[in-house]
Amino acid sequence: MTSYKEVRLIILYDLPMSDTINRKHYIKFRKGILSLGCYLVQYSVYAKVLKNEIYYDSFINKLKQIMPEKGEVRVIKVTEKQYENMIFLSGTQNNYEKKVSNNNIVVF
């Protein structure tokens, strides 16, 4: 992959919600990934488009700063082409994923 192509990160997480403290950590993490520009794909799955791979390390460092101590957080990096080839077995693209023409504008 070259440094000028967009990449999409998919963030999957499973955080404990067994008590008040864990729920607070969950809420703080969720608000944190939203503030980093991620959008909801489906429950506990968020995504973010990065201009190129140069921004990847910076984003991962920011993500590590907001991670709770307990639970699982995973990040998958895929190319835009790979993401576009995703097959919907049920449901459709959400409004955040719909692009207008080929200029990569996301419609909210």
Backbone angles phi, psi at 82, to 5 degrees: -65, -40
Round the average pLDDT of the chain to a whole number and report it: 84
Distances (CA, A) of 33 to 37, 44, 89: 7, 11, 27
In the chain, count H helices and then E strands: 3, 6
CATH number, span 7-83: 3.30.70.240
User: What residue segments make up the domains of the chain, in order of their start?
Assistant: 7-83
Tokens representing 37? 């520009």
pLDDT higher than threshold 80 for residue 100: no
| Interstrand relation of 105-106 and 99-100 (parallel, antiparallel or unpaired) | antiparallel
CA distance 76 to 27: 22
Torsion region of 104: left, alpha or beta (phi above 0 gives left; psi -120 to 50 gives alpha): left
pLDDT digits (tens, 9 = 90+) for 1-12: 444 578 899 999
| pTM metric for this prediction | 0.79
Kindly tell me if the per-residue pLDDT of 33 is higher than 50.
yes
